[in-house]
Amino acid sequence: MRRFLTALALIAAASCTDSTLGPVQTVDGVWSGVDNGYSISMNMTQDASGAVVGEVSLANLTGFFEGTISGTFVQPNLHVKFNFPGIEEISYDGTMSTTEAKIFGKMNGAGINNTDLDVRKK
């Protein structure tokens, strides 16, 4: 029940819209979105070489999952892997918008097939 309530809170928080942020050059910070039955929150840090690490929370009707992120960002392309305990690795590939702080992305792995999941910087 606690996980369900946490997932609902994550979905509700991600669905609130603030003013749109302008374009950014790094993926540093918190990014979240709700799309195609998934709610996601990613807290990422990028170093000077483009390596990306962080934490991810992902929710859908089957549950709420927390894990780690590792990958790369070379403007405008983000390629990361989500590692959740006990679940097959999930990849997330996205392209940074040139007009706002938004990543147009797709997830694959663990039964997810090329599913759109866009995120905005918070």
* 7-to-14, 30, 50 alpha-carbon distances in Å: 11, 17, 30
Q: What total number of domains does the chain contain? A: 1
Residue 96: CATH number of its domain: 2.40.128.120
How far, rounded to the nearest angstrom, does the alpha carbon of residue 44 sit from its chain's CA centroid?
Answer: 9
83 beta partners: 68
> Which comes out higher in pLDDT, residue 57 or 4?
57
Residue 12: pLDDT band (50, 70, 90) is low
How far, rounded to the nearest angstrom, does the alpha carbon of residue 79 sit from its chain's CA centroid?
Answer: 11
pLDDT of 23 reads: 83
Q: What is the C-alpha to C-alpha distance for residues 21 and 100, in angstroms, rounded to an integer?
A: 6
Residue 22: pLDDT band (50, 70, 90) is confident
Predicted confidence (pLDDT) per residue in 81-109, tens digit: 999 999 999 999 999 999 999 999 999 99
The pLDDT of 1-11, averaged and rounded, is 53
Range of the domain at 73: 2-121
Q: What is the model's pTM?
A: 0.83
Look over the chain and give the mean of its residue pLDDT values, rounded to a whole number. 89
The pLDDT of 62-84, averaged and rounded, is 97
The pLDDT of 64-76, averaged and rounded, is 97
Question: For the chain, what is the total number of helices (H) and then of strands (E)?
Answer: 1, 9
Q: Does the pLDDT value for residue 2 go beyond 70? A: no
